[in-house]
Homo-oligomer: A and B are copies of this chain.
Amino acid sequence: MQSTKYSIGIDFGTESARTVLVRVDNGEEVATSVYEYKDGVIDEFIPGTNIKLEPEWALQNPLDYLEALKQTIPDVLNKSKISPEDIIGMGIDFTSCTMLPIDKEGTPLCMRDEYRHNPHSWVKLWKHHAAQPEADKINQVARERKESFLLRYGGKYSSEWFFSKALQILNEAPKIYEAADRLIEGADWIVLQLSGEEKRNSCTAGYKALWDHEKGFPSREFFRALNPRFENIIDEKMSRNIYSLGERAGGLTSKMASITGLREGTAVATGNVDAHVSVPAATVTGPGKMVMIMGTSICHMMVDKNLHLVPGMCGVVKEGILPEYYGYEAGQSSVGDIFAWFVRNCVPSDYFKEANKRGVNVHRILEEKASSLKVGESGLLALDWWNGNRSVLVDAGLSGLLLGTTLETKPEEIYRALIEATAFGTYKIINTFEENKVKVEKLYACGGLPERNKLLMQIYADVTGRKIKIAASSQTPALGSAMFGAVAAGKDNGGYDNIIEAVKNMAHLKKESFMPNEENHRLYQKIYAEYEKLHNYFGRGENKVMKKLKKIKKEIKR
């Protein structure tokens, strides 16, 4: 009898990395380890210096990533007492687009003394927002040149994405741009560290760097129009070789084997992105099923056999989520963040007192009180745009709205209206997919919110009129990465031939799911009609008051 095999998944998040050791035959999570990054999000000073960063900057230190490997892998080995011989593969997922300049040897420029004082030598984190002028330029040039790729990204290239950040380096620090042998996604850099192989993945290439499975990258002419020195960025600083998810990038190097305690040659999968890797981890391997990764924000992930241009999605990429399928990503830019804002700023002390007395979180108190309200009873309606609208309006300049307040309005009524507003936002995304021929039959949820707030899940079921199943794992990205690690190892080594097979064995759902209440759905349809009317009125340019107020505010601040 063969011994039980294991795989490791590592989820590199914004503040920390989380590693799980998983049984390959049944997906059981045997051990977990979390490492909080020492430098975390760098948005004030370059570490160890008094060099101040401009507003909107957000950097990271790549040493934090290496330290995460060094700490968490030995930790899960130690906790589980599993032999490294039985660990057949590993996979990683990363925030994205999080990118950095490296030298010929793969060393980040920020780790070299001659460059470390230049902020542009560091890792630009996904939420580095200082490349907006570059994004504007990219959008302007793409529109002028009638580049068709914009349609695959909801009509707008983001300041968070790869070429915005790369162009900012060229514009503001040409010497760093020149010194960089390559510019690379964090996900691909970690794979390079682990395996010694630079095998860029199709997910980040597709969603963040305009790569298309058939057409490759945009033309040299396009890049030249942005800046003559940018013309050959793909060939000079990147690579045209893009690898599918779950491919074996290489075997663990002897150096990394000795650092981590794993066996040299352990299969390393190509890199992936947290939201995308969650799809198979939530058991989804085909069309009609939307996976919602629900936390501070929501990512809505879908796959389909065909390419449909759905307005306002974040991107559609062939093989960007699963082999053979087009992968669709849409999103809401603030969900849990809105409830956290509400609790911080708008909840009277009585509610906290009650929470303290009962030893529960104040969210629980609000949830209980909000649960006793019937649909429509608050008379409130909100637009969930506290952090702008990602899908389907793709407009960061929008802001939140609350309507229907009276002298009798209670905090729990506002809390419920905010939950409902985010559910309406998701429903709008679902409807937009369906109006554009991408069927959304069932919903699958993972992330922090489904575990914490049952009222919220019921409201989502009632608003969308769809059953919602919940992923069994509380760390779906790390589990998904471990699943891709098992695929990279391959069947002959005790893993799987493909991700579909891995899903069958390793991914699970909770028994509990949320069924829509038909009467509530009928009532929510009425209220949603009002939501949609406000959504279109304020979101599609008829009344630009939100932007005008932001403009006035910006002028004041100067």
Contact = CB atoms under 8 A, between A and B. Distances in A.
Contacts of A530: 545, 548-549
Question: Top 7 A-B pairs ranked by shortest CB distance?
Answer: A349-B349, A400-B405, A376-B552, A379-B553, A401-B403, A530-B545, A346-B346
Interface residues of A, number: 53
A402 B404 contact: no
A45 interface: no
Contact of A527 (B407, B538, B552): B552
A555 B375 CA distance: 11
A337 B409 CA distance: 12
A334 interface: yes
A115 B542 CA distance: 60
Given A377-B553, A549-B376, A549-B381, A403 B399 contact: yes
Given A344-B348, A346-B348, A411-B346, A406 B379 contact: no
A405 B386 contact: yes
A406 B401 contact: no
Nearest to A346: B346
Given A399-B403, A403-B401, A533-B543, A410 B556 contact: no
25 contacts: A337-B407, A346-B346, A348-B349, A349-B352, A376-B552, A376-B553, A377-B556, A377-B557, A379-B552, A381-B549, A399-B403, A399-B405, A400-B406, A401-B403, A401-B405, A402-B403, A402-B405, A403-B538, A404-B545, A404-B550, A523-B552, A527-B549, A527-B552, A530-B548, A534-B543
A415 to B, nearest CB: 11
A381 B349 contact: no
A400 B404 contact: yes
A511 interface: no
A413 to B, nearest CB: 9
Given A401-B405, A545-B381, A546-B404, A376 B556 contact: yes
A401 B380 CA distance: 9
Query: Looking at A341, A375, A406, which has the most chain B CB atoms within 10 Å of its CB?
Result: A406
A450 to B, nearest CB: 22
